[in-house]
Chains A and B, each alone.
Chain A
Amino acid sequence: MPALDTSAFAAALADGACALDLRPAPAWAAGHIPKSLSMQFGRLDVVDRMELCFRRDATYLLVIEPAALGPVAERLIGDGGYQVGGYLAGGMTAWTAAGLPTAETSIVDVAELNAQLTSGLRVHLLDVRESFEFDWLRLPGAVNVPYGEIWDRHQELDAKASWVVICADQMRSATAISVLQRLGFERMTLVMGGLASWTEAGLPVLKAAKG
């Protein structure tokens, strides 16, 4: 399977393939191919995480940097039983240089989020960690849909609302947002640093009572 130049990549997307962006979440948020799914690459668990939330009946086209990792990612994800149609030669740099469309996802850091919450602004807060993590420690007012359950449970969420999405750092949030954007959610914000930064900053949380 090949390194695809930008026009071949764009043509395959038009044919129904799905862009899978393997770069770290901050890079994805800053600029990505519209409707691409976000899943930060890691050789040990990328396929395990994909299995939680990505369908097997799609063909995936990879975006990864540095591009030298393209063949490695292709092999790993292909061995994991996913259909891979190639990877983007030259990465997002080539895509942008070719004048092809990109989308950004807005981000917020924990200090800004805390300011929004304490100002009394109505914030729809979605926590996409697993439910046991949510039960143990969460932000006041957050609702919990684990990122692997988004495809099945997105009807529980108001697609018209503006959502702020949080996880332990930002990897799962980015994945969840990318899935929700494919499902038609438009106003999504990613909390950079997630619960780890939130607790490190000493901001208020709800904790499970110790049993």
Chain B
Amino acid sequence: MVFRQMIFGPTGCASYLLGCTKAKQAVVVDALRSLGIEEYLMEAADRGLQIVHVIDTHTHADHLSAGLELAQACGATYWLSDQTKATVDHQSLTDGAVVQIGEVRVEALTTPGHTPDSLCLLVTDQSRSDEPWFLLTGDTLFVGDVGRPDLLVGDRELDVTETAQRARVLYQSLQQKIFTLPGYVEIYPGHFGGSACGGVNMSGKASSTLRFEKRYNLAMQQDSEEAFCTFVLQTLRPQPLNFQQIKRQNLGLVEV
């Protein structure tokens, strides 16, 4: 399979291009406006791949998504969680839904917490094994840290849940959906380094394994849901600049 982690350093954002070399097709996850859609088009063209699916793991707060624009440029399907409040044209991913390109299987796991519409994507390269290989964790789990639950738009209808509840739901998503997967599964997060979408413990290294994070991620060392929530809220960074406006733009509520 083809696997490319495509990063934008200044904001610590990571996006992904996955492809099947036999089917000549690709999926792009969390396309970044800051990289520009040309970058994804070229990355695919270099390998003779056609981008047929574009997925955003959640409504981003710190950067503008290029997901819809990229999908339109390629005639690809644009996928968001079925929990999203986005008004942009898209198809919905339910928990357990599978996007398949050739021998690459991408399974959506709904993992609310950072946002109600957060997804993780479990990837299996069936040319090698029927067991999952890695998990694109979006802003749910980072290397050394977890997603922050406090980036609310300030509109009850759009936010659905408040910060305290989001923190509890995040804990449940991590415990029930993510850390029940095999420990060898690699994780590839939506952010790394100094990103404002996590807390102070986020690593500058943009990959890890579930087992390593279970052992050494400080948020996962907390011995109860309550302790986890307290820890997460005590280790926040300053909020991203202008995030409410960015969220509204990504939701399609205001023109970009």
Contact = CB atoms under 8 A, between A and B. Distances in A.
A and B interact = yes
Interface stretch (B35-43, B90-98, B163-171, B194-202): B35-43
A68 B46 contact: no
Interface of A: 24, 26, 40-44, 66-69, 72, 171
Given A68-B73, A69-B41, 18 more contacts: A24-B48, A26-B24, A40-B48, A42-B45, A42-B46, A42-B47, A42-B48, A43-B45, A43-B46, A44-B46, A66-B74, A66-B75, A67-B73, A68-B41, A69-B45, A72-B38, A72-B42, A171-B48
Nearest to A64: B45
5 contacts: A24-B48, A24-B50, A26-B24, A42-B48, A72-B38
A26 B25 CA distance: 13
A209 B38 CA distance: 46
Nearest to B45: A41
Contact of A69 (B24, B38, B48, B75): B38
Contacts, number: 32
A68 B73 CA distance: 6
Given A24-B48, A41-B45, A43-B45, A68 B38 contact: yes
Interface in B14-47: 24, 37-38, 41-42, 45-47
Contacts of A171: 48
Contacts of B38: 68-69, 72
Contacts of B74: 66
Contacts of B45: 41-43, 69
A66 B48 contact: no
Q: Which 9 A-B pairs have the closest CB atoms?
A: A68-B73, A42-B46, A24-B48, A41-B45, A43-B42, A69-B41, A66-B73, A66-B74, A72-B38
A7 to B, nearest CB: 24
B41 A72 contact: yes
Nearest to B38: A72
Contacts of A68: 37-38, 41, 73
A24 B24 contact: yes
A162 to B, nearest CB: 27
A64 B45 CA distance: 10
A24 B50 CA distance: 9
B11 to A, nearest CB: 23
Interface in B29-71: 37-38, 41-42, 45-48, 50
B211 to A, nearest CB: 35
B20 to A, nearest CB: 14
Interface centre among B37, B38, B48, by most A CB within 10 Å?
Answer: B48
Interface centre among A24, A41, A66, A171, by most B CB within 10 Å?
Answer: A66
B58 to A, nearest CB: 25
A42 B46 CA distance: 4
A66 B46 contact: no
Contacts of A72: 38, 41-42
Contacts of A67: 73
A146 B18 CA distance: 33
A171 to B, nearest CB: 8
A66 B24 contact: no
Nearest to B37: A68
Contacts of B47: 42
Interface centre among B24, B45, B48, B50, by most A CB within 10 Å?
Answer: B45
Contacts of B37: 68
A68 B74 CA distance: 8
Contacts of A44: 46
B24 to A, nearest CB: 7
Nearest to A27: B50
A72 B41 CA distance: 10
Contacts of B48: 24, 40, 42, 171
B69 to A, nearest CB: 9
Nearest to B24: A24
A1 B171 CA distance: 54
Nearest to A69: B41
A144 B77 CA distance: 43
